[in-house]
Structure formats: structure tokens, C-alpha cells
Amino acid sequence: GQQVMQIPQYQHVQEGEDFTTYCNSSTTLSNIQWYKQRPGGHPVFLIQLVKSGEVKKQKRLTFQFGEAKKNSSLHITATQTTDVGTYFCAGARRDKIIFGKGTRLHILP
Amino acid sequence: EPEVTQTPSHQVTQMGQEVILRCVPISNHLYFYWYRQILGQKVEFLVSFYNNEISEKSEIFDDQFSVERPDGSNFTLKIRSTKLEDSAMYFCATARGLLSYNEQFFGPGTRLTVL
């Protein structure tokens, strides 16, 4: 079945440094969604990418969808303490969704 | 801002007991979902529900699990005979349309502890 792999599992960065998490699928995705989960919280939808090669920005966050629609990345510029949490990518097909294992971001002050 | 609510926030039960987890969707949403997250692990899709029917389910969603929307508002997940490995956070989520095209909104979750 479809698998969504995400790396790295953990990332420690100094506040102000950049952060990137990568997502790869074993099959072509119709779309990729990104979520953020704060410690002790629930997943919160960030964005959805649909088109091959699509790039979307939300303030310091940049999301990319690969040309082959099998990989995606989330890049955060100049991390802040509020960025702490786990970032999940997920591939949705109609009414089913597969999440990656997530990247847990720790910010060192 | 409308939000998904879930009750209870924490449920402790003995192995073999039945539990019912409840969710109140956002009012104009038509698609409902249950997810499971074992502590420190990824979010796992259990089931999707639309028009009073299951539309998709995962391998995890076996005969021990069932969902229904008995009164047109609450959306429930029932686990008939709980096992130790059912201990996890259970999230309900709702969306206006299919996940392929729509954002889903998660509730705060119910932490299920099976002893």
C-alpha cells in the first residue's frame, strides 16, 4: 500500500536558523498536505499542494511539491520558539489520508 | 471560530470493556474522520464517514470498531472489547468535502487508557 516517508525524525536548531523537513511517497500523490502538531495538541492543517512543481509560501514557511508529485518539502526560515512542534506531511486520495511519521522540531534558545 | 469538540477528554477503561468516544463536528461539515495516535508516533487514519456510511477504512479499523451518527449531531467511535494496544489518543476530524480537495479540522482528542 501507499507509504509516506518523512525525514529527519528529529531536528534541533538554534533559534534563528533555518529548518527543512522532507517527505517522500512510494507512489504518485494526487496532493500533499502539511500539518503542525504542538506538544500535547492536535494536528492543525497548514496547507495543501496539488500541482506538480507547486511552491507556496506562508510568511516564513515555504512548501514545495515535486515535479513527479512523489516528494515534498517544508522549509522554515529563521526559526522562532513558536515553531516548536511536529510537522507531518500527508497524502490524501479521495477520502483517505496517509500521514508521514513527522519531524519533531526543537528550538534551542 | 467554529471548532470540533470531543468528549471525554480522557477515558480510562479495563481491558475487554466497551468504550464510546464522541465528537461534535463543525455544523456545515459533511465528512467525518477518526484517527489514532499512539504516544509519540504518527497519526493513523482509521475511518471516513459520509452520508451515514463508511466511505473508507484502514486495516486498523477491524470488527472491534464501529462508527455512527445516531442523532444527526454527535459522531461516535465505539470500540467493543478494548485491548491494551488500543491505548492512544483518538482524534476526530471533519471537513466540508473530500480530503483530496479540502482542509480538515481536528478536535482536541480523547486520550484512551486501557488497563
Q: pLDDT tens digit string along A28-86?
A: 888 999 999 999 999 999 999 999 999 999 999 999 999 999 999 999 999 999 999 99
Cβ atoms of A76 and A58 closer than 8 Å: no
Run of H or E residues at B57:
strand B53-57
* CA-to-CA dists, residue B75 to A86, B7, B92, angstroms: 27, 11, 9
* Separation between Cα atoms, residue B71 and residue A83, nearest integer Å: 40
Read off the pLDDT band of B80 (50, 70, 90).
very high
What three-state secondary structure class fits B91? strand
Q: How far is A102 from chain B (nearest CA, A)?
A: 6
Q: What is the pLDDT of residues B13-72, one digit of tens each?
A: 999 999 999 999 999 899 999 999 999 899 999 999 999 999 999 999 999 999 999 887
What pLDDT does residue B45 have? 95
What pLDDT does residue B93 have? 96
* Separation between Cα atoms, residue A65 and residue A68, nearest integer Å: 8
What pLDDT does residue B101 have? 81
Phi, psi of A105, rounded to the nearest 5 degrees: -100, 125
What pLDDT does residue A2 have? 72
Domains defined for chain B, CATH in brackets: 5-10+17-96 (2.60.40.10)
Q: Which of B36, B51, B100, B110 is the best mutation test for A, with the most CBs of A within 10 A?
A: B100
| Domain map (residue ranges) of chain A | 4-108
Cβ atoms of B86 and B100 closer than 8 Å: no
Read off the pLDDT band of B94 (50, 70, 90).
very high
What is the second-level CATH architecture of the domain A4-108? Sandwich (2.60)
Q: What DSSP assignment string belongs to A52-66?
A: TT-EEEETTEEEEE-
Over its C-alpha atoms, chain B yields an Rg (Å, rounded) of 13
Judging contacts by C-beta atoms under 8 Å, the chain A residues touching residue B45 are 96-99
* CA-to-CA dists, residue B37 to A36, A76, B96, angstroms: 14, 25, 23
Q: Do B50 and A100 touch (CB under 8 A)?
A: no
